[in-house]
Amino acid sequence: MSASLLDLAPVVPVVVVQDAADAVPLARALVAGGLPAIEVTLRTPVALDAIRAMAGEVPDAVVGAGTVITPEQVNESIAAGARFLVSPGWTDVLLEAMRAAGVPFLPGVSTTSEVVALLERGVTEMKFFPAQAAGGTAYLKSLAGPLPQARFCPTGGIGLASAPEYLALPNVGCVGGTWMLPEDAVAARDWGRIESLAREAAALSAGATCR
């Protein structure tokens, strides 16, 4: 795995798995489309089972856990096979647990003070969430001057049309999104369509000027 989670792929699919049986074919479609880093959010009862299945049966996938908000979830995610952790926000307790897990992690931030606090604690890679609602590309661009050492994975409200604007910023390594996983395609188990949308998203790196 890359030393930096932000350099694995231009787009990290943010996956909400409702049926554990969908986990493996969904992961295979995303990997085939060129998106190996997959964030499975801990928002459903089957999320840990989905992580376990993807990690065990799709060797080319780098499966992580998202919406991690407690030390217990950190431990459960690692036990299930998660290779990275993502949180919507952070506290010192959560940060300590993620650091102790020994895998890459992206604590969530939405303000300058949170970024500075993480830099003070030796963390330079972060999730910017909710990206669009928190100021979007204009906000991130304004952070690049005073805080150039911070790098971000913006997530929240980003789609195919807006992703290139984020990827062109010098302090953005990748973006997180769900647009390659439309609900109707997942419900219909149309893995071919998801693979095609993933390939379209993976191609965005060619248009990013600062990757």
As annotated, the active-site residues are 39, 127
What letter represents residue 106's amino acid?
Answer: L
Find the Cα–Cα–Cα–Cα dihedral 72, 75, 76, 81, rounded to 10°: 160
27 neighbors 38 (Cβ within 8 angstroms): yes
Distance (Å, rounded) from C-alpha 196 to C-alpha 160? 13
| Token pair in block for residue 173 | 């390594």
Q: Which of 66, 17, 52 is CA-nearest to residue 181? A: 17
